[in-house]
Structure 1
Amino acid sequence: MRTVDGQIRFVTSVKPASGALTVFMSGPVLDGGVIGYPNRLSVSSIPSTTPVVTVPDTQPVAAPTYAALINKFTNSYWQNGSWRASAGVSVAATAQNLATFVAGASVRTADGQVRTITSVKPASGALTVFMNGPVLDGNDIGYPNKLRLVAAPASLPVAPSSPIADVTLPTQPVQLVGVALSGAAFGPSVLPGKHGTNYIFPAESYYQKYAEMGMKLVRLPFLWERIQPQLDTELDAAYLALLKQSLDFAQKHGVKVVLDMHNYYRYYKQPIGSETVPIQSFANTWKRIAQKIGNHPALSGYGLMNEPNTKGLWPEAALAAAKEIRKVDRANWIYVAGDRFSSAWHWPQSNTQLIADPWMRDPKNNLIFEAHMYLDRDTSGLYKDKTETFAPDLGINRAKPFVEWLRANELRGFIGEMGVPAYAPDAIVAMDNLLGYLRENCVPLTYWAAGPWWGNYILALDVSGGAPQPQLPVLKKHAATPNTCTAIGEPL
């Protein structure tokens, strides 16, 4: 198992007791202040069906006979699990692989070459092993071949091989296509408003419908003023109950939910950071939310704010809120929107300060940066000019500044909103191409929008009368297309 502080330990025994399970591990006592609630215990490797053997408390290094199966990735960055940019291959991030493939060890590839490992990079279930020498040919050495240990580094002891040697960890497929289920943030002019009159939480049928189409990722907008009608006070019990019910619906149908505070950087029309809405109050609200729903199994993470447009004020508020969440929840993602309405096209020039603090670039903080993009001329998503045409690669070109910024900074990303009008077949083609590009980069997208009360809105998937919308077949196609992503934003 892996504890939250990065230690890998072996399970020695388990003890069930009245609904709880105590998992005993090798090594010294663990510090509950560091690894305890609200953290999680993660599977690092799975034992085979062979008899249990005694494992020393010190981290083992496998014998030179050990071999690991290369992962099956093929896209613009990988060829059968071989990294296209330099000499490196991807294997499962099991405890045995982590202990075996270390800098200085010698390995043999399937074509007979012996190389020295220069570095390794763990990444959510996968481990990239970098080696000296030129780029490796994935057709010769990649999946279904194995990487073999020739010799461990001279300074490290060699221990007997473990029964978990060639086990590949099961991984959940990364959900790359989903929808925004709107309704709970409707009627912002009436606050807090009445459920069913001014706003509506989507019924269970919407979660079931899109889950059955393969779209098991939902962005769920809500309003700050409704979940906390008075600043710095307890959350509203009725609104919170509706939000939890939505998470229950999602869990029933295998859907993950991104909670989206849909407030455009304002609370009762006053900007965050103003005298009446301090940044700390915003941050504290997110801490309260995380305390109430952070352990729900359907939760993907916290969308800090929809489309802030602050001319530079947002980074301080985003950092404060993210840090407050991390005081009570170390596990779930935090989705950090970008300034200038989160525009993917304008992202690099609008969000340099968003990652100025090193905390925002630390991979241990589980951050995902959220951009929005639309294909009309002014990127607004209003599609005012019904005569406008859309080039096939327009969506890719609009997304590239954001995706390339993620790559340059080694960060994870998400397109939280993107929609095209039902009347424009060329825009739907552009969306089709965009989704293929995002899949290659392991960047998820939630389509804007689905859910109740949309009437005849030109971007909506659910319209009055229930007629099937032309955007839907493209979304379903990409939701059903297998991906080689080990996590959001990976493989890098």
Structure 2
Amino acid sequence: MMERIIPDKLTGTINETYFSGLEDLVKDVTSKGSYAVIDPHNYGRYYGNIITSSADFGAWWKTVAARFKDNDKVIFDTNNEYHDMDNTLVHDLNQAAITNIRAAGATKQNIFIEGNSYSGAWHWIESGSGDALKNLTDPSDSTGKLLFYEMHQYLDTDGSGTNEACVSSTIGAERLAVATKWLKDNNKQGVLGEIGAGVNTQCETAVKGAIQHLADNSEQWRGVLWWAAGPWWADYMYSMEPTTGKAYGTYLPILKSFI
């Protein structure tokens, strides 16, 4: 996404042909009262290379955020699933994004922060993300209440979200526990930005347990997003695409029961 928006270099100019479509989509979503998350799925990379310049990364965000600065229903997610990177760099990229989004005039919008090791909730401490990111600051709000730590959690053996089976019926809540404690201990807010599971009894129970854990700790967890939806997902095992997605009929009622 970063390359499609600004194709020549991070400090370059927007490709208006591509960006106009994104702007139309965001306008359509937010005009209906919903929130739109600008979430580059770049994994901390640009054209496949790890981004090492926080200044250039910040410049990219300043350019993009300026176009949405007057829309309070836009949320900025610094990048999807940083991985295999130095934790200091992950901190610096997140801080550069926050600082430059605010410098662009987008001073009231929420910002999602992601960690290393694919931003996994169960590895939040082990990966070093917790220590690396706990001191991020927001120039627009000293309380930090506009910053949300976005974590992801799948329930299969390796937590990759590539298997229909779940480890156990209790694995959802179990894998979130360490992240919940970190959020509470550090007075932070979290969002579970990705969760998904196969359509079977064990996974259904595990997902219910995970969402119940979030609800029971609502001061720390402010929301959850299911992965994924869209017609291009075809027969993907976790698809929530109405009404044909494999997970749609099973998991939509479960998720709605927590609203």
TM-score, structure 1 as length reference = 0.48
Consecutive unaligned residues in structure 2, runs of 5 or more: none
1:228 corresponds to 2:6: yes
Equivalent residue in structure 1 for 2:60, among 276, 285, 296 = 285
Equivalent residue in structure 1 for 2:204, among 428, 447, 463 = 428
Query: Residues of 2 paired with 1:241 and 1:346: CA distance?
Result: 38
Moved segments of 4+, more than 6 Å: none
Q: Is the 8 A contact 1:247 1:296 kept in 2?
A: no
Letter in 2 for 1:469: K
| Residue matched to 1:296 | 71
Query: Residues of 2 paired with 1:289 and 1:311: CA distance?
Result: 25
* Secondary structure in structure 2 of the residue aligned to 1:330: coil
Q: Is the 8 A contact 1:248 1:298 kept in 2?
A: no
Change (3 A) 1:345 1:364: closer
The C-alpha deviation readout for 1:316-363, integer Å capped at 9, x for no partner, is 111111111111221001100011110100002321111245669942
1:470 Cα offset (Å): 4.2
| Residue matched to 2:159 | 379
| Residue matched to 1:341 | 118
| Residue matched to 1:409 | 186
Letter in 2 for 1:304: T
1:253 Cα offset (Å): 3.2
1:249 corresponds to 2:28: yes
Query: Residues of 2 paired with 1:468 and 1:454: CA distance?
Result: 8
| Residue matched to 1:456 | 235
Q: Is the 8 A contact 1:449 1:460 kept in 2?
A: yes
Letter in 2 for 1:226: R
| Residue matched to 1:322 | 98
Change (3 A) 1:404 1:286: same
Once the two structures are superposed, the pairs formed by residues 170-319 of structure 1 within 5 Å of their partners are: 223-231=1-9, 232-273=11-52, 278-299=53-74, 301-309=75-83, 310-312=85-87, 313-319=89-95
Letter in 2 for 1:375: L
1:311 Cα offset (Å): 3.3
Letter in 1 for 2:79: M
1:298 Cα offset (Å): 3.4
1:381 Cα offset (Å): 1.0
The C-alpha deviation readout for 1:378-427, integer Å capped at 9, x for no partner, is 111111xx6x55322210011111111111100011111111123x3211
Query: Residues of 2 paired with 1:440 and 1:453: CA distance?
Result: 34
Q: Is the 8 A contact 1:432 1:474 kept in 2?
A: no
The C-alpha deviation readout for 1:278-307, integer Å capped at 9, x for no partner, is 2211111111111101212431x1000100
Equivalent residue in structure 2 for 1:437, among 205, 213, 216 = 213
The C-alpha deviation readout for 1:140-181, integer Å capped at 9, x for no partner, is xxxxxxxxxxxxxxxxxxxxxxxxxxxxxxxxxxxxxxxxxx
| Larger proportion of strand | 1
Consecutive unaligned residues in structure 1, runs of 5 or more: 1-222, 483-492
Letter in 1 for 2:67: K
Query: Residues of 1 paired with 2:124 and 2:207: CA distance?
Result: 19
Query: Residues of 2 paired with 1:284 and 1:308: CA distance?
Result: 18
Q: Is the 8 A contact 2:166 2:198 kept in 1?
A: no
Q: Is the 8 A contact 1:420 1:431 kept in 2?
A: yes
Q: Is the 8 A contact 1:330 1:365 kept in 2?
A: no
* Secondary structure in structure 2 of the residue aligned to 1:370: strand
Q: How many residues align?
A: 249
Q: Is the 8 A contact 2:154 2:160 kept in 1?
A: yes
TM-score, structure 2 as length reference = 0.88
* Secondary structure in structure 1 of the residue aligned to 2:76: strand
* Secondary structure in structure 1 of the residue aligned to 2:119: coil
Q: Percent identity?
A: 26
